Amino acid sequence: MGSNSQQALQAFSQGVEMFKEIKEKTGSGQSDTAETQARLLETDARSDAWEAQRKAAAAARENRDQNERERSRERADWGGSNLRMSGSKAVIRDARTLQDMQEEDDVLYEGRRNADAILRQARDRANMLRINGGSAPNRSTLSMGSSIYGPRR
């Protein structure tokens, strides 16, 4: 009977060790999966941000072309009248050119801002995936506070 209890104890300890190994592998698998998902999310965001900037550049180019056509038409009309452009008319023309350039810059800036927002949101979501992937499934982020943010000292 002694050998049976030793065998049972040995089988039990082997089962416990096997359970620990499976649990460790599963935990790291979650962490690896979370890291992979986070990287994919960031890669997709970089692509989306690039696309947002590309669209903004195309919109700015279209805006510039449209404004140049309008200014050219106005100059052609003015030139066809055999009048010299000077004084306040020239100042207005130059101001319009500057305003058109500012509109183009505004469109490009808005595209950069959108791209930055896309990247920032993706980075935040990826970091949450990493945090949640590295934690035990039965613990909340709040209960892990010190391990996430470090000690107070």
Q: CA nearest 133: which of 40, 20, 26?
A: 26
Residues 6+ apart with CB under 8 A from 134: 31, 34
**Distance from chain centroid for Cα 98:** 33
Which pTM was predicted?
0.59
Q: What is the pLDDT of residues 67-115, one digit of tens each?
A: 999 988 888 877 777 666 667 777 888 888 999 999 999 999 999 999 9
List pLDDT tens digits, range 14-65.
776 766 666 665 555 566 788 888 888 889 999 999 999 999 999 999 999 9
DSSP helix/strand/coil, 124: helix
